């Protein structure tokens, strides 16, 4: 049977409350008592029940909730890793939910988590339902909005501008002499951050006097095959593109595969550009032109900002984490 606090207290000859304070790194006991309790806990193989400890008090002091758009997103996997590592180092535990790019789903998840009285929340994006905003203000807990930077956060914000990413890529492609651009996107009408990149890209091209030729917005999730048939569909309508910008690197790699299957030379016949700096692009024969996103750094900064707020330490309301456009060999 698993050892519990009562077993340790009996073996150490102290009260159960003393054992609890020792294991929670509290105060009110001698160093000798601490050493004895820790030694016996180790001998008995005690494993703390973090969830019970959190819900056993009026506030779940060690739980931090985080809601992401999709659990299958490779980029958000790195963000989660950055958050989890930083929170673990600072003595907090992460609980995760997914909204499937739905603000109403996000609100439903937040209502459930807030009822557990967590220490704080980390949310993806800056667009939320009025109900979510009202709920979070009533809860009076630290909130960090990440990924798509806002200058008027609910509490704190960590991230970058997706619109600026799209605009920066447009300027780069124009500087490379590309004048007839297309776009292949995914998660139409649900991924507002992907939409922001597209709008930044489209508007920058228009301002420069070279409006986008055409775009293909898929309802499917972004992926290799979505990029493949997205480019196929786009080119079936018009053939006068000299470059295509994709929702992310995985879709851009799918586009490269389509070009290869049709005998199109990249970048001579058509240029290909992605977004995200995803790992899959690192093994391509030609380096992909893309935007590298500091995913782990964003997660780490968000966790540290939230914990600093919990501890009453000075913290920046808005933290800008810059992305980096990497010119490759595909444009």
Q: In sequence order, which ranges of 49-129 are alpha helices (DSSP H)? A: 50-55, 74-89, 103-114
- What's this model's pTM, rounded to 2 decimal places? 0.82
Q: Do both 272 and 303 map to the same domain?
A: no
pLDDT 10s digits, 102-150: 999 999 999 989 888 889 999 999 999 999 999 998 888 999 999 999 9
β 118-124/156-160 pair status: unpaired
Q: Is residue 181 part of a domain?
A: yes
Q: Is residue 330 part of a domain?
A: no
Q: Say which CATH number the domain at 151 has.
A: 3.40.50.2300
Q: What is the pLDDT of residue 59?
A: 43
H helix or E strand, kind and range, residue 68: strand 60-68
pLDDT 10s digits, 44-99: 877 665 555 555 554 446 889 999 998 888 888 899 999 999 998 888 989 999 99
Q: Is residue 329 part of a domain?
A: no
Q: Is residue 202 part of a domain?
A: yes
Return mean pLDDT, the chain.
Answer: 91
Q: Is residue 53 part of a domain?
A: no
Q: Do both 172 and 285 map to the same domain?
A: yes
Q: Do both 260 and 143 map to the same domain?
A: no
User: Can you give the residue range of the structural domain that contains 43?
Assistant: 5-48
> What is the number of domains present in the chain?
3
Q: What is the pLDDT of residue 99?
A: 94
Q: Is residue 84 part of a domain?
A: yes
Express as a percent the part of the chain with pLDDT over 90. 73
Q: Is residue 69 part of a domain?
A: yes
Q: Do both 279 and 247 map to the same domain?
A: yes
Q: Is residue 127 part of a domain?
A: yes
Q: Do both 187 and 82 map to the same domain?
A: no
Q: Do both 135 and 113 map to the same domain?
A: yes
Q: What is the pLDDT of residue 322?
A: 96
Q: Do both 98 and 128 map to the same domain?
A: yes
Q: Do both 175 and 317 map to the same domain?
A: no
Q: Do both 266 and 302 map to the same domain?
A: no
Strand partners, 146: 124, 158
Q: Detail the DSSP E strand segments found in 108-255.
A: 118-124, 143-148, 156-160, 181-185, 214-217, 243-246
Q: What is the pLDDT of residue 292?
A: 98
Q: Do both 258 and 314 map to the same domain?
A: no
The answer to whether 85 and 300 have CB atoms below 8 angstroms apart is: yes
Q: Do both 273 and 169 map to the same domain?
A: yes
């Amino acid at each position: 049977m698993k050892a519990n606090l009562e077993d340790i207290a009996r073996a150490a000859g102290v009260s159960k409350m003393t054992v609890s304070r020792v294991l929670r790194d509290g105060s009110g006991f001698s160093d000798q008592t601490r050493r004895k309790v820790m030694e016996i806990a180790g001998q008995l193989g005690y494993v703390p029940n973090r969830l019970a400890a959190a819900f056993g008090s009026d506030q779940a002091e060690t739980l931090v909730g985080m809601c992401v758009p999709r659990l299958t997103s490779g980029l958000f996997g790195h963000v989660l890793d950055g958050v989890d590592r930083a929170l673990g180092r600072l003595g907090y535990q992460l609980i995760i939910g997914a909204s499937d790019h739905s603000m109403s789903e996000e609100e439903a998840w937040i209502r459930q988590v807030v009822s557990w009285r967590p220490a704080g929340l980390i949310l993806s994006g800056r667009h939320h339902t009025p109900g979510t905003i009202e709920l979070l203000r009533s809860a009076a807990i630290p909130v960090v909005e990440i990924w798509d930077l806002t200058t008027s956060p609910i509490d704190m914000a960590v991230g970058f501008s997706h619109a600026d990413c799209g605009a920066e890529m447009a300027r780069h492609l124009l500087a490379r002499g590309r004048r007839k651009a297309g776009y292949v996107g995914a998660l139409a009408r649900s991924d507002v951050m992907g939409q922001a990149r597209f709008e930044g890209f489209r508007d920058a091209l228009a301002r420069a006097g070279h409006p986008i030729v055409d775009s293909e917005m898929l309802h499917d999730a972004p992926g290799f095959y979505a990029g493949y048939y997205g480019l196929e569909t786009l080119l079936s309508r018009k053939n006068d593109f000299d470059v295509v910008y994709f929702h992310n690197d995985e879709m851009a790699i799918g586009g490269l595969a389509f070009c290869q299957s049709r005998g199109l030379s990249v970048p001579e016949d058509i240029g290909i550009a992605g977004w995200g700096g995803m790992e899959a692009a690192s093994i391509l024969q030609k380096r992909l032109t893309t935007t590298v996103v500091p995913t782990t750094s964003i997660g780490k900064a968000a966790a540290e900002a939230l914990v600093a707020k919990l501890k009453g330490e000075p913290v920046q309301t808005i933290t800008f984490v810059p992305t980096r456009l990497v010119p490759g060999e595909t444009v």
